[in-house]
Amino acid sequence: GENVEQHPSTLSVQEGDSAVIKCTYSDSASNYFPWYKQELGKGPQLIIDIRSNVGEKKDQRIAVTLNKTAKHFSLHITETQPEDSAVYFCAAILFSGGYQKVTFGTGTKLQVIP
Amino acid sequence: GAGVSQSPSNKVTEKGKDVELRCDPISGHTALYWYRQSLGQGLEFLIYFQGNSAPDKSGLPSDRFSAERTGGSVSTLTIQRTQQEDSAVYLCASSSPSRDEQYFGPGTRLTVT
């Protein structure tokens, strides 16, 4: 089955600096890679996603890159703000003919220091 | 519109008792997922419903866990004879037929004493 590794498990950055979180996956058939942000006491919220036919996607201060050959994808947050502090999860999902298989990473706790 | 809702938000139960957790997905979403999140851990997939297809139960950790989805909408996750290791946050998510992203509910925090 799919295995998703996420690093680092914790990350502290100064406000205004960039943060990068990396995930690797094992099943080359996975074709959808979302990133979720989870604040304390809340459910995860989708912040950005990328599909296997795209190498990079950007949405304001957030970007995701995908390297299918190496089977890894990364979340990049630029100009970090204190409100970016949360736990971030990556996921690798296989969609195929109405069937899907979801595997989440173990999460990264990001702390942005004012 | 309304998001995914879950009830109860918190549940404390004694070891050995059965519990039922409820999930109301977003209207029109055909896919529904249950996950378990232990303290400080990632999301562990439990079960997936897609329309009228047979559910994918491959993530259920034991036969004490079961789930059903009535009328293609509301879902109930049942844990029988609860154990202390069942203590976790149980998250539900749904997605629409036309989009891949999952929308999560706030979760139910289950504590087994």
Q: What is the pLDDT of residue A52?
A: 82
State the pLDDT at residue B22.
97
Q: Is A20 exposed, middle or buried (0-12, 13-18, 19+ CB in 10 A)?
A: middle
pLDDT exceeds 90 at position A91: yes
Q: Give A107's contacts (C-beta < 8 A, 6+ positions apart).
A: A6, A9, A38, A87, A88, A89, B41, B42
| Residue A30 neighbours by CB under 8 Å, 6+ apart | A2, A52, A92, A93, A94, A101, A103
- Helix/strand/coil for A23: strand
- Shortest CA distance from A47: residue in chain B: B101
**Under a CB-based contact definition with an 8 Å cutoff, are residues A26 and A3 in contact?**
yes
- Please state the rounded mean pLDDT for residues B69-84: 93
- Asked whether the predicted pLDDT for residue A105 surpasses 70, the reply is yes
- pLDDT tens sequence across A20-53: 999 999 999 999 999 999 998 899 999 999 998 8
CB contact under 8 A, A106 and B42: yes
**Would you list the DSSP string of A58-114?**
EETTEEEEEETTTTEEEEEE-S--GGG-EEEEEEEEEEETTEEEEEE---EEEEEE-
For residue range A45-86, list pLDDT tens digits in order. 999 999 988 899 999 999 999 999 999 999 999 999 999 999
pLDDT at A98: 66
pLDDT at residue B54, rounded to an integer: 87
Gap between the Cα atoms of B65 and B59, Å rounded: 10
Q: Given A43, A49, A104, which is nearest B101 (Cβ)?
A: A49
Q: What would the DSSP string read from start to end of B46-95?
A: EEEEETTSPPB-TT--STTEEEEEGGGS-EEEEE-S--GGG-EEEEEEEE
What residues have CB less than 8 Å from A40, skipping those under 6 apart?
Answer: A86
Pairs of CB atoms within 8 A across A/B: 55
pLDDT for the residue numbered A53: 81
In this complex, the residue of A45, A95, A104 whose CB is nearest that of residue B100 is A95
Q: Is the omega angle on the peptide bond into residue A8 within 30 degrees of 0, that is, cis?
A: yes
CA of A2 vs chain B CAs: smallest distance (Å): 12
Poorest-pLDDT segment among A52-56, A110-114, B107-111 = A52-56
Confidence band of B1 (pLDDT split at 50, 70, 90): low
Task: Answer yes or no: is pLDDT of B72 > 80.
Answer: no
Residue-wise burial string across B68-106, b where 16 or more C-beta atoms lie within 10 A, e elsewhere: ebeeebebebebeebeeebbbbbbbbbbbeeebebbbbb
**Contact residues, chain A, for B21 at CB < 8 Å:** none
| Rounded distance between C-alpha atoms, residue A109 and residue A89, angstroms | 9
8 A C-beta contact, residue A1 and residue A99: no
- For B8-46, the pLDDT digits (tens) are 999 999 999 999 999 999 998 989 999 999 887 789 999
pLDDT in tens, B42-54: 899 999 998 888 8
